[in-house]
Structure 1
Amino acid sequence: MALKNARIVDVARAAGVSTATVSRALSSPDLLTEETRKAVFAAIKATGYRVNKTARKLRTRQAGAVLVLVPNLGNPFFSQILAGISETLGERDTSVLIADTEDRATSGQHLVDYFLDAQIDGMICLDGALSQRELAQFEENGVSGKIVFACEWVQGSDFPSVRSDNIQGARLAVGHLYDLGHRKIAHVTGPQDNVLTHARREGMLAERARLGLPAREEWIIRGDFSLESGKAAAHKIVHMTDRPTAVFCASDQVAFGLISTLSAHGLRVPGDISVIGFDDIELSEYYVPALTTIRQDRRALGTKAAQLFHQRVGTGAVAGLGTDEEAPAPVIIGVDLVVRQSAAPVRVEL
């Protein structure tokens, strides 16, 4: 029976545990056994106990919120990552604030102010393009230890990160095309200075070298993960004298733009040119032809990032790396090749 003004001691009595255990269930439920968690939350429901969030924030000196920086909220790639972050932090009664880094109001000192004004406890960053000046500002204001990167990262930095195995993904893509008989394989990259671009290009080059595939400079085409860059790449391929028989795209969005434009020029996919993407966003399965691609477990990226954030920052115990501490190794999440209809055996000319 619910009580009018239930207290934490009432919950503890109903669950048959200590008040400390009730507090732990609310702040760090993963530290308790499933049986104890169920007992506590059943008691909370039965007694009608409500957490005084304002008092808790004053007591713990935590805002109870995390800022997530996203490089482009219009890109459907980020939806599952955000879902994983939101679900995991929600279980810990932590709110999620989202900011698009394409809005320059989220850069520089403005981000530091979120920390200094006690609006957030930390930040999960999906954008690896933060400037060195911004990183220096985090360090100068003592908040760098409250930042975790997911998906992308800052090369050479000490920030903890969660990322997919981008190099292996590129190798899987090129290897699959090779197994289908393709030897003339082009690659449409991501943005020039992006860490994902470099990792996927590295994997592509490594696999191409391992297989002894021919290399032409024009077969590596600069893109930017967008539909438009896929369209631009298709125009270049259409006018090539020595045209590739297959294309590995650095993202599914690029692949969609590429396929639609090749089709508009009378080239069939996969009849004339095979195409592989990277990401496995929701549309990939329903595109025509259904896209063969490299699947990133995007929800796991978000979940792992939120868990890593809680481990390092959630308790308020992490202020930053000391001079004798080593930078944490990145958490690498495996990728898979998803075979659909956009890649087929190379056509043999008679």
Structure 2
Amino acid sequence: MSTATVSRALSQPQRVSENTRARVSKAVDVTGYTMNQAARSLRQRVARTVLVALPDIRNPFFSSILDAVEREAARRGYGILVANLYFGHETVWRLQDLLLSNRADGLLLLDGSVNPNHLRLLTDGPVSIPVVLACEEVPHLNYHKVLTDNAVSAERATRHLIDLGHLDIGHIMGPEHNSAAQDRLTGFTRALSAAHLPVNPNWLFRGNFEMESGFAAAARFMALEHRPTAIFAANDESAIGLLSGLRQHGLACPQDISVVGFDDLEVAPHYWPPLTTIRQPRETLGRMAAETLIDLIEGEHRATTPLRIVLSSELIVRGSTARLSSALSSAVQSAI
């Protein structure tokens, strides 16, 4: 058999006969041959690599998403590169270098705070790089997106507290310019409005999705003249930080306060008390985002308008929330 025939049998088996495929397969088994993917990529001027950019690789929220992305990419014959955007705009320029120098074929972006003008340099120039947004949206960019129902789920989480009898509810917010954080704030305020409850600005605590911001919110909570009986936190890390801080101040959950998080991190059911939270379908999100991007890279999408896939999340009720009693309400307020 010629080299060209063997190459076709390995890379495009549908173009050769069944007999030829069987002969090549037998030869591969005997010789232990493996395809040199690097050489193949050089010849085809493709990297067969997906670049995944995320805001903070230290955040455990991204671990299962990255795992699902890597598994789907490997199934399709791709590898992944991971870029941490925690250090800001300099890293965004490095993304452009990786993509425009053919070291990656497309970008999966998990950070909604990236400057839209920087991304347009990748997609509006002479060479258009496939881009898929996941988890968070970037304002004013009409790209393919795979998201979760942040506003709807935040409304559901807040409604859970209201159904337990809590009328005084606060919120630990996420980063100010983060689209997911803004959607969760929208869902929180929407639930209060539907129940004819006011949004008390003194009970909106600034946060940044990190545990330390939840811990700092506990100190601000204790300094309030009038305290809420429940808190909805924009993510699990800030909820856990809040619980830790309140414990140091002598408050117990859920006896003194009910707390709901968002994400359902692996630690959520093992913390004390086990955290009531919103479970995002992170594995499904990662798999579908990778699938969408690789389809774009391989030219399999024919849609005239970009896809916008929104996945549903689930409320997981655990021990950090409880029904409000008149005794609890009086105790919290008398603790001032």
TM-score bracket, normalised by the shorter chain, equals: 0.7 to 0.9
What residue number does 2:242 align with?
258
Distance 1:299 1:220, change over 3 A: same
Quote how far apart the aligned CAs of 1:11 are. Answer: 6.7
What residue number does 1:340 align with?
318
Quote how far apart the aligned CAs of 1:99 are. Answer: 1.0
The AA in structure 2 aligned to 1:118 is N
Structure 1: gaps spanning 5 or more residues? 1-5, 23-38
Which of 134, 141, 162 in structure 2 is aligned with 1:157?
141
User: Helix, strand or coil for the counterpart of 2:53?
Assistant: strand
- Aligned ranges 1:179-328 → 2 under 5 Å: 179-313=163-297, 315=298, 325-326=304-305, 328=306
Q: 1:123-151, CA deviations, whole angstroms, 9 ceiling, x for partnerless residues?
A: 11111111133123224534554111111
User: Helix, strand or coil for the counterpart of 1:214?
Assistant: coil
- Note if contact 1:167-1:203 (Cα within 8 Å) is conserved in structure 2: yes
CA distance in 1, matches of 2:126, 2:241: 43
* % identical aligned pairs: 36
What residue number does 1:134 align with?
118
- Note if contact 2:189-2:199 (Cα within 8 Å) is conserved in structure 1: no
Structure 2: gaps spanning 5 or more residues? 331-336
1:66 paired to 2:50: yes
CA distance in 2, matches of 1:111, 1:264: 42
CA distance in 1, matches of 2:157, 2:321: 10
CA distance in 1, matches of 2:284, 2:293: 14
Distance 1:180 1:156, change over 3 A: same
Q: 1:106-126, CA deviations, whole angstroms, 9 ceiling, x for partnerless residues?
A: 534332221221111011111
Distance 1:234 1:46, change over 3 A: same
Distance 1:97 1:243, change over 3 A: same
What residue number does 1:124 align with?
108
CA distance in 2, matches of 1:283, 1:180: 24
Quote how far apart the aligned CAs of 1:233 are. Answer: 1.1
- Note if contact 1:69-1:125 (Cα within 8 Å) is conserved in structure 2: yes
CA distance in 2, matches of 1:290, 1:21: 59
CA distance in 1, matches of 2:300, 2:159: 45
CA distance in 2, matches of 1:44, 1:76: 45
The AA in structure 1 aligned to 2:286 is G
CA distance in 2, matches of 1:220, 1:311: 42
- Note if contact 1:234-1:258 (Cα within 8 Å) is conserved in structure 2: yes
CA distance in 2, matches of 1:258, 1:44: 62
Quote how far apart the aligned CAs of 1:50 are. Answer: 2.0
Distance 1:283 1:277, change over 3 A: same
CA distance in 2, matches of 1:21, 1:301: 38
TM-score (norm 2): 0.87
Quote how far apart the aligned CAs of 1:52 are. Answer: 3.0
- Aligned ranges 1:69-80 → 2 under 5 Å: 69-80=53-64
- Note if contact 1:100-1:106 (Cα within 8 Å) is conserved in structure 2: no
- Aligned ranges 1:37-186 → 2 under 5 Å: 46=29, 48-104=32-88, 107-186=91-170
The count of corresponding residues between Structure 1 and Structure 2 is 320
- Note if contact 1:259-1:269 (Cα within 8 Å) is conserved in structure 2: yes
